[in-house]
Amino acid sequence: MTTDSILYGSTHIEYSIDYVPRKTLGIRVEPDGSVFIKAPEDATLEDIREKVHRKAPWILRQRRYFESFGIPTTERRYISGESHLYLGRQYMLRIRESDCNAVHYQNNILEIECRNKKDAKKVLQQWYLERAKVKFAEYAKPIVEHFSVYSVKPESISVRKMEKRWGYCTKDGSIYLNPRLICAPRGCIEYVITHELCHLIHRNHSKEFYALLSKEMPQWEKWKTKLERMLR
């Protein structure tokens, strides 16, 4: 992934570019205002800049939209109209009474169905936990397979609630991931997984550890910063 930028009026718009096998160019704005481009493999930088310039008004509207939610806080009321994150995207909460407990998401709406609105927090947190188990396993699989080149493999990868850590690697090689990561973008989750897998080779945060982390994920600092900003 590479970075580039344009000047739209007096506004500087920086964006990351990921070249992938596709025919059209896609633009995504994250809740923290960062911009990501998925471009065809044969797209020129001039083509990308032209498209970003044309979409600049939309990009700025998206940024203002996310800014309207305010800064995420740890104290939640779990009421309709409140904003919550899922995989890095901001959703507006909608709660309605129902005969069953369920969570659905579409567009910018995260809908909670529950028998009693007072149970909304419990229903959403359970849904987050179940999604964390599924998505973490999905994201970890190719990374774990890649790390086999170092002749290492985690004993297990599971979810555990932790107050001060995003991830933890035990002496026996078991890796635990904080379920709160399900609110962060995929890149942040992959950063934590990669970080903990590096601990299978280097137990402490030595120069060798960071050299390996940088080799396996050159932009790890970017994702670490994004994680800390979004889920502080």
Whether residue 57 sits in one domain with residue 19: yes
Give the residue with greater pLDDT, 2 vs 129. Answer: 129
Q: Is residue 78 included in any domain, yes or no?
A: no
**Is residue 75 a part of any domain in this protein?**
no
Confirm whether 77 is domain-assigned.
no
Domain of residue 177, CATH code: 3.30.2010.10
Q: What is the token pair recorded at 143? A: 């990374």
Q: Measured between alpha carbons, how far is 48 from 28 in angstroms, rounded to an integer?
A: 13
Assigned domain for 37 exists:
yes
What's the pLDDT band for 37 if we cut at 50, 70, 90?
A: very high
Long-range contacts of 76-83 (CB under 8 A, 24+ apart): 76/121, 78/112, 78/120, 78/121, 78/124, 79/120
Q: Is residue 173 part of a domain?
A: yes
Same domain for 18 and 36, yes or no, is yes
- Looking at the fold, whether 8 and 20 belong to one and the same domain comes out as yes
Residue 108 lies in a domain: yes
Same domain membership, residue 179 and residue 117: no
Whether pLDDT at 75 is above 70 = no
Across 5-26, average pLDDT: 90
Q: Are 226 and 188 in contact (CB under 8 A)?
A: yes
Q: How many domains does the chain have?
A: 3
**Statement to judge: residues 47 and 107 lie in one domain:** no
pLDDT of residue 140: 98
pLDDT class for 69, splitting at 50, 70, 90?
Answer: low
pLDDT at 7 over 50: yes
- Residue 179 in domain: yes
Shared domain for 134 and 122, answered yes or no, is no
- Residue 73 in any domain: the answer is no
pLDDT in tens, 112-160: 999 998 899 999 999 999 999 999 999 999 999 999 999 999 999 999 9
Q: Which of 25, 40, 67 is the last residue of a domain?
A: 67
The least confident of 8-22, 23-37, 92-106, 200-214 is: 23-37
Give the number of other Cβ atoms within 10 Å of residue 36's Cβ.
16
Considering the domain architecture, whether residues 43 and 119 belong to the same structural domain is answered as no
Q: Are 102 and 139 found together in one domain?
A: no
What are 124's two structure tokens?
């959403």
Same domain? For 148 and 172 the reply is: yes
pTM given for the model: 0.68
Q: Please name which of 150, 132, 149, 229 lies closest in space to residue 189, comparing C-alpha atoms.
A: 132
Same domain, 118 and 132: no
Residues 225 and 136 in one domain: yes
Domain that residue 53 falls in = 2-67
The answer on 165 and 105 residing in a single domain is: no
